[in-house]
Amino acid sequence: MKILNLSSRAVLALVLAASLAVPAWPQTAATPAAYAIKGGKVFTLAGAPIDNGTVIIRDGKIVAVGANIAIPQDAQVIDATGLEVYPGMFDPITQIGLNEVSAVGATVDVSELGDYNPELVAATAVNPASAHIPVTRANGITEVIAAPGTTGFDLQSGGLIAGQASAFNLAGWTIDEMQINRSVAMVINWPTIQTSTFDFASFSVKEKPYADVKKEYDKSVNALSDWLDRARHYAQAKEKGSPALYERDLKLEALVPVVEGKLPVLVIADQERDIRNAVDFCTKKNLKMILGSGAEAWKVKELLKEKKIPVVLAPTNRLPEQEDTPYDKPYTEPSELLAAGIPFAFSSFGTAFSRRLPQYAGTAEAYGLPHDEALKAVMLNAAQIFGLADQLGTLEPGKLANVIATNGDPLELQTQVRYLFIKGQLTSTDDKHRDLYDQYRKRPQPAR
Amino acid sequence: MKRAIFFAALIVTAVAPPVTRAQNPTTIFIQNATVLTVTHGNIEHGSILIRDGKIGAVGADLKAPEGATIIDATGEFVMPGIIDCHSHIAVDGSVNEAGPAVSSMANIADVLNPDDINIYRDLAGGVTTANILHGSANPVGGQTVVIKLRWGKPAADLPFQGALPGIKFALGENPKHSNFPTPPGITPRYPGTRLGVEEVIRQAFIEAREYKKQWDDYNQHKSAGEQNLIPPRRDVRLDPLVEVLEGKRYVHAHCYRADEILMLIRVASEFGFKVRTFQHVLEGYKIADEIAASGAGGSTFSDWWAYKMEAFDAIPYNAALMTERGVITSVNSDDAQEARQLNQEAAKSMKFGGLSANDALKLITLNPAIQLGIDARAGSIDVGKDADLAIYNHDPLSVYAVVQKTLIDGQVYFDRQRDIAQRTTLAVEKQALLDKEKKAAEAQKAEEKKRDENSEKKPDKKPSQKRKPPQNGDSNVSANATVATATAGGTR
């Protein structure tokens, strides 16, 4: 199953050439009230796969899933015979909507100036018309989180408290229509003790004495601590006093749910020492921590397990942290975390590479991660980590109808997404790339 | 930094010497594999006979000769070693000779670093050959070199013997410094537009043509037996451009937009040379017919896009569409990680544009071999070619494929099982060294304390600078910073 044999590849190529009759999104007023996806093998991720299963969608939600389900009269039937049906994929750390062309500052709203910006919310500036949205969903990713201040391809991270991350569906006219949860986590870029840094102005590596960077580091952590303490005091004042007794402060107000443990902190850290320090800090401050990136999370397994800290992993396809780290450590890290009982999800940490999400899971599977766990780590786990599993992650009644139908294993490189439902809407897999391809493929031979 | 170098050396000694070298076998027999020849189909239960580093025979009915070292590849897939047509690994220091717009005097072959761990990592991704280029800061960049990833060998042994050298050109945003603002107080460098980029290249070739004429005249007179001739003054900047004019050096041109690609085709035609490859060439699909007609190849990315304005019309169908229109096309890495997954990147052209499996494989084997002019020696599994091979546990075009062994010139340079087996030994050795260093530092500290106590009596004597015990990770540049080093000044 994993490997397409060569003759079936040829068949696949022919099938690919055939165009699909999926209506272009957005839909017209004639949108059906309900859909029935029938005939496919349904991977609910909440039980065994269902051969020849049916998924009924109504008003944006899944209403029934099973082998022998009656199809409502008003439902448009989608024939998924020969296809596999899954929950859509979820990329939990991206800059989608905040970053169009990384090198063009005018199109980037990822990192605000200043180190402490807890009041900023990603959803404020998510551009629903971004070309990245159709490109990403065409590869089966139906929802993402945009996280301010996080690094992407060619982007620099910004801010210690970078702002609030927002979860949204990858289709809709406005962010209000797309939004799943405006605030799912507070992004903290954990400061790092780094003696060598690359200086862009001089294109060279700058060395600083350890004592100096340690001092800077301590200063940052103290400041972070101070912000949280002030937020706690602010919350207390707010609870006990009348508004007249304290001055309204947007930054502190934004940190209140964090210190109350209601809003998790998404702490971006890679090196072992930084992860340990961050976990220690969050434990002392009683914060609900999610570790983001975690290149050396494999060195901190016991601690993460003990403190029940989930990890949103940096792309599997990356170089090892240290020169003497095993060459395949980034590839085996997911299966090591699984064995240690640490919940994790895959993520692109990017914009243009969000569509690579299944590739990251597939690579981890090649190096030992079981297939069903690899699927969960791109479909379900992120929803659980960010408290959205009541709405997303499995094909079960009551959940948001973010569903994909593929012509094979969704983690395999050649697999095509045939049908895409976002919030119960049949959504086109066309995008800027397909359009340009179609356009230039038709270009006549130039005259000589 | 010293510590990092030290560990690099440690890895070299521990991992490098190919097991086969100890026995020095001249005959190796890989048996019972699915052999993806690329040129003449796939052979199930096939075998490959390697003699003196070359492929001696390929087929389904071969018998292992007596005394041959057997590599049993039952259930595994053997493909030609991956050829990466655009790489910046194994370069000691910065990849850009920032400053002059024409930096053809700089040669990357002079700064090869055989201890770059990325050589080993890419080898572990099935790569056997890489085209090592400068960055893209200058319209006319530095001289390039094709290397084999002979991990453990000195720099002098890395170059692919017989491969024609190249030169990097760069068009568009990087040479006009669009995305790397000039630091305050420094005059921006010409060119600042694509118009200026063309002018710089034309001017350089006008000079090169005149310089070549001086030498041709001189040589003509000399061979006619004339006496007391004064040779023209050597110009190391123009020499490589003369080689381009004479077809002795390939032009690998970094480019993005269709207009700049057509510009360079026109300039090349004006001066009578050919562009060997357009690198990145993300809008190549828009003018694939023109590229094909010019005789140039296209070496592109799988699905990179939108990282800068000139990459905003990039499409993952580019490799397939260029192939369809007759351009010899390859997929390259431009990045040490991407090189480790070139098999995956090639496979994407089956999804985006419907290439056949064999055409997808060609993107990382035969086609880059043709582009680098080494196809008589590499790029397919054919008798007489170098035994540069990658052995996978699955079809290499699957995301689930893992490299098991990589061979160069018939020697096993990477062996996954051997790598895994050595990890415990390496970890023990590392710990022992760390302990030793810590102990030494403590001893030195005690010594210094003693000296300080003594020096209190002689206050004019300064205490020597104290050494600190090693701090985990202190001396390592972060992953992000490393990436930044590779891309600064622009390579992509």
- pLDDT tens for chain A, residues 1 to 448: 334 343 444 444 443 333 334 444 444 446 788 999 999 999 999 999 999 999 999 999 999 999 999 999 999 999 999 999 999 999 999 999 999 999 999 999 999 999 999 999 999 999 999 999 999 999 999 999 999 998 865 666 778 999 999 999 999 999 999 999 999 999 999 999 888 877 766 667 789 999 999 999 999 999 999 999 999 999 998 888 776 677 899 999 999 999 999 999 999 999 999 999 999 999 999 999 999 999 999 999 999 999 999 999 999 999 999 999 999 999 999 999 999 999 999 999 999 999 999 999 999 999 999 999 999 999 999 999 999 999 999 999 999 999 999 999 999 999 999 999 999 999 999 999 999 999 999 999 988 7
DSSP 8-state class, residue A328 = T
Q: What is the pLDDT of residue B338?
A: 98
Contacts of A246 (CB under 8 A, 6+ apart): A234, A237, A238
Residue B226 has pLDDT above 70, yes or no: yes
Tell me the two tokens of residue B197. 């980029």
Residue A186 to residue A189: CA distance in whole angstroms: 10
Q: What percent of chain B has pLDDT over 90?
A: 82
Residue B146 has pLDDT above 60, yes or no: yes
A365 closest CB neighbour out of B289, B321, B400: B400
Q: What is the pLDDT of residue A200?
A: 62
Residues of chain A with CATH 3.20.20.140: 89-392
Residues of chain A with CATH 2.30.40.10: 1-88+394-448
Q: What is the pLDDT of residue B181?
A: 74
Residue B389 to residue B411: CA distance in whole angstroms: 9
Residue with tokens 């051997």: B418
pLDDT band, very low/low/confident/very high, at B99 (cuts 50, 70, 90): confident
Residue B122 has pLDDT above 90, yes or no: yes
Site from B400, B404, B420 to mutate, A interface, most A CB atoms within 10 angstroms: B400
**Which A residues 266-325 touch B at CB under 8 Å?**
270-273, 295, 317-324
A89-392 fold = TIM Barrel (3.20.20)
- Chain A residues whose beta carbon lies within 8 Å of the beta carbon of residue B336: 319
Characterize the bridge pairing of strands B69-72 and B77-80. Answer: unpaired
Q: What is the pLDDT of residue A196?
A: 84
Determine how many CB atoms are found less than 10 A away from the CB of residue A29: 4
- CB-based contact, A442 to chain B, within 8 Å: no
Contacts of A439 (CB under 8 A, 6+ apart): none
- Chain B residues whose beta carbon lies within 8 Å of the beta carbon of residue A196: 1, 475-478, 481
Mean pLDDT confidence for B305-330: 98
- Cis bond leading into A26, ω under 30°? yes
Q: What is the pLDDT of residue B434?
A: 95
Q: Closest residue of A to B98, CA-based?
A: A203
- Chain B residues whose beta carbon lies within 8 Å of the beta carbon of residue A378: none
Characterize the bridge pairing of strands A196-199 and A204-207. Answer: antiparallel
Contacts of B452 (CB under 8 A, 6+ apart): B463
pLDDT band, very low/low/confident/very high, at B479 (cuts 50, 70, 90): very low
Site from B307, B322, B342, B394 to mutate, A interface, most A CB atoms within 10 angstroms: B307
Of A271-285, B94-108, B350-364, minimum mean pLDDT range: B94-108
Q: Which of A156, A142, A212 is nearest to A189 (CA)?
A: A156
Do A313 and A344 contact (CB within 8 A), yes or no?
yes
Residue B1 has pLDDT above 90, yes or no: no
Contact A9 B336 (CB under 8 A): no
Write the single-letter amino acid at A228.
L
What is this structure's pTM? 0.90
How far does the CA of residue A45 sit from the closest CA of chain B (Å)?
21
Site from A104, A203, A417, A448 to mutate, B interface, most B CB atoms within 10 angstroms: A203
- How would you class B10 by CB atoms within 10 Å of its CB: exposed for 0-12, middle for 13-18, buried for 19 or more? middle
Q: Which domains can be identified in chain B, with CATH numbers?
A: 1-81+379-452 (2.30.40.10), 82-376 (3.20.20.140)
- How would you class A391 by CB atoms within 10 Å of its CB: exposed for 0-12, middle for 13-18, buried for 19 or more? middle
pLDDT band, very low/low/confident/very high, at B481 (cuts 50, 70, 90): very low
- Chain B residues whose beta carbon lies within 8 Å of the beta carbon of residue A192: 478
Q: Closest residue of A to B311, CA-based?
A: A101
- Chain B residues whose beta carbon lies within 8 Å of the beta carbon of residue A17: 354
- Chain A residues whose beta carbon lies within 8 Å of the beta carbon of residue B353: 437
pLDDT band, very low/low/confident/very high, at B253 (cuts 50, 70, 90): very high
pLDDT band, very low/low/confident/very high, at B129 (cuts 50, 70, 90): very high
Contact B423 A326 (CB under 8 A): yes
E strands present in A47-202: 50-58, 61-66, 75-79, 84-87, 89-94, 141-146, 161-169, 179-189, 196-199
Q: Closest residue of B to A206, CA-based?
A: B477
- CB-based contact, A225 to chain B, within 8 Å: no
Q: What is the pLDDT of residue A154?
A: 60
How far does the CA of residue A212 sit from the closest CA of chain B (Å)?
12
Polymer length of chain B: 492
Q: What is the pLDDT of residue A153?
A: 59
**Which A residues 230-259 touch B at CB under 8 Å?**
none
Q: What is the pLDDT of residue A17?
A: 39
Q: What is the pLDDT of residue A158?
A: 79
Say which CATH superfamily domain A1-88+394-448 falls into: Urease, subunit C, domain 1 (2.30.40.10)
E strands present in B403-471: 403-408, 411-415
How far does the CA of residue B249 sit from the closest CA of chain A (Å)?
28
